[in-house]
Each structure stands twice: as C-alpha cells, then as structure tokens.
Amino acid sequence: MKEKYNTCMQLFTTFFRIGAFTFGGGYAMIPIIQKEAVEKRHWIKDEDIIDLLAIAESTPGVLAVNSATFVGYNVGGFWGSLAATVGVVLPSFIIILILSGFYLAFRQNVWVDYAFRGIKAGVCVLLLKSFMKLYKALDKKAFHMVLLALAIIASAVIDIESIFIILSGGIIGYIYCTFFRDKKEAEK
C-alpha cells in the first residue's frame, strides 16, 4: 500500500515536471520524457518511446496526456495513470489560470518575447538530440531507412498530416512483414 502510494507520488512529480517544462507542446516533450522516465526512473526504454508515440499519435487527444496516461498505467496501474495525467496537466492549468486576466500584456511583454525566441533555438537542439537517440534505437534495415526517408519527405516536403503518414507506415509494415519478410526473422 505504502509502496503503491510512493509510486503514484513519483509519477505525479515526474509528470508535473514534464508538464511544466514542455514549451511548444507535442514533440518538444520527448527530450524531457527521455530524461525523466527513461534515464532517471527506468520506467520505459528508448524503444518504448517510439511505440508510445505511435499509439499517442494515432489515437485522439493530447499527446502529453496520452503519454502520461500510458506510462502511468504501465508503472502504477489505474491510480498511476491518474497521478501521471493530473501531474502533466496541472502546471498548464495553474499557469493559464494566473495569466488569464492579463494574457495580452503577457504576450506583448518584450522580455517574454525575447525569452521565447531564445527557447526555439534551444528546443531545436533538444529535438535533434532526441531524434539521434531514437534513430539509434531503430534496427537499421534497408526497409526502415526507406520508410524513415519517405516519412520525412511526406511530412516536410508534401506536408501530409502526421496521422496519415503513421497509418500508411502501419499498413506498409503489415504488408511487408506478412508477404515479404521471412518468418524466422519476424519472430525475433
């Protein structure tokens, strides 16, 4: 009982930090999840982050909440998922509640603007780093390299929505594994 309570508290504080330091939303939270949930707590592995994102991106709702609920459930069951989800949402909730009276003044404040313009360049470094780490976690078969390149082209050049790119990846993976890949390798 005590142990369960401690796990839930850890989930709450970890995801509170993740919620509090994710600027720009969405993928910008990946570096912090890697640090907090993978390196510090060993709740999940780098490979699991990829699966987690695949699930979070192809289901409705907010990426941050989806990830918190999923990790929370795997670590601490229902109460774990509740603790993580409340944790990830609470920082935004508190900050916006405080700001809501004077959000225009906040937005038009030049120092806030300078800080935020600085953050963009920093978040770019963080995301590159995450990309490198997750790239290492992939198995480097030609099939994976081709799909990776196709996904980049589809998103950056043709500007197709992520959900369609992910669904296509799933379909291609299914066809490839069912009809072309030898059975023994697939079992691994």
Partner 1 sequence: MNIYIELFVTFFKIGLFTIGGGYAMIPMMQEEVVSRSWATIETVIDFIAVSESTPGPFAVNMATFIGCEVGGFWGAVCSTLGVVTPSFIIILAIAKFFATFAQDRRVKAVLYGIRPVVVGLIGVAAFSIGKAAFLTGEGINFISVIIFSVAFGVYKKFPKIHPVFIVFLSMALGIIFYGFFPSLVTVLT
Residues 139-168 within binding reach of partner 1 (CB under 8 A): 144-145, 147-152, 155-156, 161-163, 165-166, 168
- Cα 56 to Cα 27, 52, 176, 186, distances in angstroms: 11, 6, 23, 25
- Whose structure tokens read 């699930």? 55
Q: Is 10 in the site for partner 1 (CB under 8 A)?
A: no
Q: Looking at residues 45 to 64 of the shown chain, list those that interact with partner 1 (rule: CB under 8 A).
A: 50-51, 53-64
Q: Using the rule CB under 8 A, which residue among 7, 10, 11, 30 binds partner 1?
A: 30
Other Cβ atoms less than 10 A from the Cβ of 169: the count is 17
SS (H, E, C) 64-79: HHHHHHHHHHHHHHHH
Q: Is 13 in the site for partner 1 (CB under 8 A)?
A: no
Q: What are phi and psi of 53, to 5 degrees?
A: -65, -35
Q: Using the rule CB under 8 A, which residue among 22, 37, 44, 76 binds partner 1?
A: 22
Which CB sits closer to partner 1, 2 or 27? 27
Q: Using the rule CB under 8 A, which residue among 6, 73, 76, 83 binds partner 1?
A: 73
Q: Is 185 in the site for partner 1 (CB under 8 A)?
A: no
Q: What are phi and psi of 85, to 5 degrees?
A: -65, -45
CA 173 to chain centre: 21
- Residue 172 contacts residue 147 (beta carbons within 8 Å): yes
Site string for partner 1, 95-114 (x = CB under 8 A): xxx-xx--xx-xx--xxxxx
DSSP symbol at 92? H
Q: Using the rule CB under 8 A, which residue among 12, 19, 83, 87 binds partner 1?
A: 19
Which CB sits closer to partner 1, 2 or 117? 117
DSSP symbol at 40? I
Q: Is 115 in the site for partner 1 (CB under 8 A)?
A: yes
